[in-house]
Amino acid sequence: MADTMRIAIVQARPVYYDLAATLEKTLALIAEAAGQGAQLAAFPETFLPGYPVWLDYALDYARWDHPPTKKVYARLAENSPAIDGAALQRLRDAAREHRIVLVLGINERVPRGRGNRSLYNSLVIIDADGAIANHHRKLRPTYTEQLLWAQGDGAGLGAVDTAAGRVGGLICWEHWMPHARQALHLSNEALHIALWPAVKESHQIASRHYAFEGRCFVLAVGGILRAADFPAELTLPPPLRAQPDALLLNGGSAVIAPDGEYLLAPSYGEETILYAELELGRILEEQMALDVTGHYARDDVFRFEVNRQRG
């Protein structure tokens, strides 16, 4: 692994619940990041085809027996990619073409006839040769998210070797699951991708804590959504109806060093690609004081085990 690495965080709006259009936008953003020399590009939580922000802004719609909600769910499901489907294949081809590692948040659809048909909130790492290096499903959907997504499993709970080094990731509130964090720490991460809908203050704290605890670089990745993106099947709360440009998700993406300090401060309120140069030697420097899998561990006191079967 090289001494330095150039990374890109893509803080962007999907073409909401339109997989084909969002895929084209994603491919263009990948080409742009690669053209700027990025060796890895990370996208927000469920960027393809968009985070279900309507669950937070219209709680009356978070009901199983609400016809408009059913229509939105059906549209989401129809526009969600499968791991072995055509959309992911085009992303794999793009990674190989541009020689770039991709970390993507997706609403994952399991095709009919393959047992479990649930949707999953998933994180996919595609290596620079186009191979899927890791596929992690969010362990526990949070609050109203349980209306949409099934529980994930431990099959992808760890960092993997890529052309950009040891890369791992967790999704949103998994960063407050101590066992999930420890599973990633034990896998010897150099670069951790923290996927969020948007990186608000509490999410910044969790991301910085993760970097400090794990002695790794953290890319906190947030998305952008505007009121105009709200599903047409549902009605926005009154204050937002006349404000199509109002932000429902405001980004907040940042890069955090292994001491928990910002290498790149949070960026709010705009679509952008953030770039940073990571000096990987800082990981070992910071491990001198704290290494939760080394000299600051007590394996004689604690036992840790992960069930890595695919659910």
Q: From CA 205, how far away is CA 281, in angstroms rounded?
A: 24
Helix or strand (DSSP H, E) at 287: helix 281-287
Catalytic residue among 108, 145, 172, 189: 172
**Sheet with strand 119-126: strands edge to edge:** 132-137, 119-126, 101-109, 40-42, 4-11, 272-279
3-state helix, strand, coil in the chain (%, to 5): 30, 25, 40
Tell me the residue type at 233: E
What SS3 state is found at 182?
helix
Residue 25 catalytic?
no
How long a stretch of residues is the chain?
Answer: 311
Catalytic residue among 24, 25, 32, 45: 45
Q: Name the token pair of 67.
A: 């016809």
Show Cβ contacts of residue 9 under 8 Å, excluding neighbours closer than 6 positions. Answer: 41, 42, 219, 221, 253, 255, 273, 274
User: Residue with structure tokens 């659910």?
Assistant: 311
Please, what's the b/e burial string for 5-19 (b: 16 or more CB within 10 A of its CB; e: otherwise)? bbbbbbbbbbbbbeb
Residue 45 catalytic?
yes
The burial of 309, by beta-carbon neighbours within 10 Å (0-12 exposed, 13-18 middle, 19 or more buried), is given as exposed
Catalytic residue among 138, 145, 216, 286: 138
What SS3 state is found at 285?
helix
Residue 279 catalytic?
no
Instruction: Please list the active-site residues.
Output: 45, 138, 172
